[in-house]
Structure formats: structure tokens, C-alpha cells
Chains A and B, each alone.
Chain A
């Protein structure tokens, strides 16, 4: 199933954290079938940028447009199209993997049944751990529960903040293939990572935040 064409545009974005301007006048445009790799040293504002792009953070100035319309005005129309995985896994430790995914699928408005959820957990490598409270799982396994959402969602825009952290080799490969799949389907992926992702189709673009926010194509 291919995603309808979409584009995310950023013009003149300015974000200040505390007394520090993280970036000023940042321009950016990214379309279906593209992956944006945000790079830069620690503390340069990668996470902040990602949070601003998915609408969690209100920028001081500038516009973020989704298909030409401001994401603030779109509100829930925009959040329907986005999935964000941050440093926090966003799963409840008292609930099992199944229960966690059931809740997030209902809230995300994804119509998936329990079979699909079991299937997703198995695919991500959590077979046998599906109905244990997630508090007994390891860091990497908790991360996988969060990543399983990528298998269930129909979101066009994936915003992933350091998704490879705490994963083992097998899980990294699995996640890579998920990202490639999303780009091939015509989705958009924005991520920060220290890992290079090999794409079979589509374009990888890099944004180096260290230097005055320019986007280079490759």
C-alpha cells in the first residue's frame, strides 16, 4: 500500500532553549520517499528540532507546513499522519506489550485487531514476551515494544529520535528494513542516529545542525 504524496516544509524556523538560540532561520523541505538524517554534536538541538517538527514544541518564529498548511492549524489532522518515537519509550511498565500496543493503536486511530498486535510483537522479536508486564523486560526489549508501533501504524511521517539505541544487531537490521520499507512506500522518515541507513530507493538527505542549518542532498 503506497502513501499518498505529502511534503513537510519548514521556513524561517527559530527555536530558543533557555538563553540559547539553537537555530535561527532554518529552512527545510522534505517530500514523499525521502529520508532526512539530522546530524550534529550533542546539544546542538537535534531532539528539539524533531519535537518542533511533530508539533510538540512551539517554535519562537517560523512556520512548519504539512502539505502547505500550518501544522498548528491542522491540529489533529496533522497528528494523524505522524508517529514520533523519542528517548522515552512511551510505554507503561505495569501493562503488557499487548496491552500497551492495544492502547496506542486505539489512540492513534489505527484499526488493528489483537492478531495483528501479536504478529507485530513476534516480528519485532518479542515472541514469548507478549503478555509479560513490560517492567520485567530489558531496555532493548522495551524499546522493541515501542518500535512495534511502526508495524501497526499507517502514519506517513515517521519522526524517530535515536531509534537504534539499545538495540542488538538483529533488531537494528529489522528496524533498518522497516525504515527502508516506509521510504519505498512513499512515506517520509526523519531521524537522528549515529548509524548510516542503507536505502534501496528514495533519497537520503542530511541536515547538519552544527553549522548554520543547511540541507544537502546526496
Chain B
């Protein structure tokens, strides 16, 4: 059989493929998630930092950093699918973009939530206009804007294309926005520049952090594939393959 990658860009084919993959992604997410949490709770030091260490509460780092990473990666994924859709006019790309967005927004919200909970014991306040937290908040607005625009337009195709465009515009603006938040006074930017290096992190902490991020990735795949499957069914409703598929699933 000749294999062609564009073969999977047909919604009908992808529907089946995604359906077979979802359980695996969920299983992987669960396994790595359990490992990561076990490692994070029992195999890592009790406190973090030198002279003024952060106590047990620092363990929120595993969820916080992982979800913050995910929030940014998923926005890239969203914009990439959007660009792909606009360039090649493939329906499945838009569907992927649309189904990634809620998971991305969820991780952004999680990063904000955990950030705030971390902030209370370490800074003594629920919210500080820390550049990184503020950037995360803006990212959340971008996700919400994308989702709101998509759901406000009734015609599916216009919705897909319009929200794809705003995703790309957002992506172009994000570096400028983040930079302006990080460096509100261009006269003193150098002083504000902060950087954390992976090398200085304890190996066990890093492992737990990366393992949980991996688990998040698998979760993101699983949920967006579930969403894309229902979008496909909704959009293709009435076609023969959907009817056959539904009969098949009803029999099972």
C-alpha cells in the first residue's frame, strides 16, 4: 500500500486514526503523571534555595512550570495549525487549531492559578505584577480572544479563517508584548534581565518537572484529539461515512 502523509489530512481518515490513538495518549499521560508526582513528592529535597529557602510549598513548581511551558507551546501549535490552514486551505488544520485552544487556555489558567498560590507563601501576596505572571495573563487573554472570536462566528469556514488570522497576529505581537512587560523602561533593561539556567536545578527536581511536562503533553494530545473528533463529526454530519461510523459505534 502506498503511504502518503496527506492521506491523514482527510477528516474521515483522521477520525479513525485519532480514535485509536486517544487511549494510548491517556494511558501515557496517566503513567508519567503518577511517576512525576511520586518523584516530585518523595524523591526531591524538602526545600529549595540557599540562604532563605522555600519550604515544602516549592513543590508547586512541578505543576506551575510544566503548565506554563505547555501554555506557550500550545499557542505555537495553535498558530502553526492556523498558518497551515490559511496557506493550504485544509479543513483539518483549522479543526486541529480549534481543538488545541481550550487545552492551551486551561494550562494557562493552571499556570496563573498555581503561580498565584506559589506567590502567597513566597512573596506574601496572591498577585504581584511579576513580568512572567503578567505575560501569562496576557497569553490567557489571547487564548480567550481566539476562542471567543471562533464561537462568535456562525459560519464555520469564516470562523476558522478569521480566528486563524488573529492567532497569527497574536503570535507576531507576543514577543513585543512580552518584551514590553519585561522591560517597561528601556533605559534600564539590562538590570531587569533575569535568567534561570537548567544546569543549576537539582537533578531529581528537573526529572519530576520534565516528566510532568511530558504527561501534560500526552494529556494535551488526548484531549485535543477527542475534541477534533467531535468537531469532525459535527462538520461532516450527514455524509455517508459519518452515518456508517455512527451505525458502527451504535452496534458496539
Binding site for B on A (CB under 8 A): 16-19, 58, 60
10 contacts between A and B (CB under 8 A): A16-B157, A17-B155, A18-B154, A18-B155, A18-B156, A19-B235, A19-B237, A19-B238, A58-B89, A60-B157
CB proximity of B198 to chain A, nearest CB, Å? 46
C-beta contact mask, B220-252 vs A, less than 8 Å → 1, else 0? 000000000000000101100000000000000
Binding site for A on B (CB under 8 A): 89, 154-157, 235, 237-238
A-B contact count (CB 8 A): 10
Specify which chain A residues have a CB less than 8 angstroms from the CB of B235 in the assembled complex.
Answer: 19
Most buried by A among B89, B155, B157, B238: B157
Specify which chain B residues have a CB less than 8 angstroms from the CB of A17 in the assembled complex.
Answer: 155
The docked-state distance in angstroms from the alpha carbon of A60 to that of B85 is: 12
Most buried by B among A19, A58, A60: A19
Specify which chain B residues have a CB less than 8 angstroms from the CB of A19 in the assembled complex.
Answer: 235, 237-238
The docked-state distance in angstroms from the alpha carbon of A156 to that of B10 is: 39
The docked-state distance in angstroms from the alpha carbon of A19 to that of B155 is: 9
CB proximity of B85 to chain A, nearest CB, Å? 12
CB proximity of A45 to chain B, nearest CB, Å? 14
CB proximity of B243 to chain A, nearest CB, Å? 14
Closest to A61 in B: B89
The docked-state distance in angstroms from the alpha carbon of A16 to that of B89 is: 14
The docked-state distance in angstroms from the alpha carbon of A58 to that of B156 is: 13
CB proximity of B70 to chain A, nearest CB, Å? 33
CB proximity of B34 to chain A, nearest CB, Å? 42
